[in-house]
Amino acid sequence: MSEEAKTREDITRFAKSIFERGLTNGSSGNISVRLSHGDILITPTGSSMGFLDPARISLISSDGAHLAGDKPTKEIPLHTAFYDTRPSAGAVVHLHCTYATALSMLPDIDRENVLPTLTPYAIMRLGKVKWLPFFVPGDPAMGAAVRAIAGRHSAVLLANHGPVVAGDALAGTVYAMEELEENAKLAILTRGLNPVGMTVSEVAQVVQQFNVDYG
């Protein structure tokens, strides 16, 4: 099986799992994977994560030109911005998951690091998650906002919209997205209960032990 054919199958499999577990709904969310030669497979516009046809997943060039498959998602600028600013990125996942989106709307979150330091795994998989303001879905300005952070974050949280995570490979990127949603859920569920989070020293230990880019 060719790299492209295998990647189409992998995207379909992970997307179905994401959909069936309620991490995104309807025809929301999108996934992309950068192939070794630079072209990008990306889920089509209006498609449901639960019912993708591998053969119809869109193929675009590195600059966003449509090469094959169905018409790609309107969020191409968001995906290509991560690929252009994070050379190691091999996959990007954007979902509309409930708790992360809810967290994006709260007025007193730390916009430079929206997840409270409640578990080590969010730090290990995500580093600091930066909040970005609201953009109309598909607005190229969304991609410009990602470019402006110049690759310093592997994950962002779009206000009133949802999270976006970039990673080296598809599986790890999906796992990081799941960790983001679970920690957002913890943050919402413990809000106002004065939870005992990790100390500055404990965070530093995790950052050092796992070589996390936490600048």
DSSP per residue, the chain:
--HHHHHHHHHHHHHHHHHHTTSS-TT--EEEEE-TTS-EEEPBTT--GGG--GGGSEEE-TT--EEESSPBPTTHHHHHHHHHH-TT--EEEE---HHHHHHHT-TTS-TTS-S-S--HHHHHHHSPPEEE----TT-HHHHHHHHHTTT--SEEEETTTEEEEEESSHHHHHHHHHHHHHHHHHHHHTTTS------HHHHHHHHHHTT----
Model confidence at 209: pLDDT above 90: yes
Query: What CATH number belongs to 3-209?
Result: 3.40.225.10
Distance CA 161, CA 110 (A): 17
For the chain, the structural domain boundaries read 3-209
Active site annotation includes 99: no
Catalytic hit among 75, 178, 179, 181: 75
How do residues 3-30 score in pLDDT, each as one tens digit?
999 999 999 999 999 999 999 999 999 9
How confident is the model over 133-158, as a mean pLDDT?
96
Model confidence at 64: pLDDT above 90: no
Active site annotation includes 75: yes
Q: Which amino acid is at 118?
A: L
Instruction: Tell me the pLDDT band of 103, cut-offs 50, 70 and 90.
Output: very high
Distance CA 168, CA 170 (A): 7
Write down the mean pLDDT value for the chain.
Answer: 96
Instruction: Tell me the pLDDT band of 215, cut-offs 50, 70 and 90.
Output: confident
Catalytic hit among 121, 175, 182, 214: 121
How do residues 179-205 score in pLDDT, each as one tens digit?
999 999 999 999 999 999 999 999 999
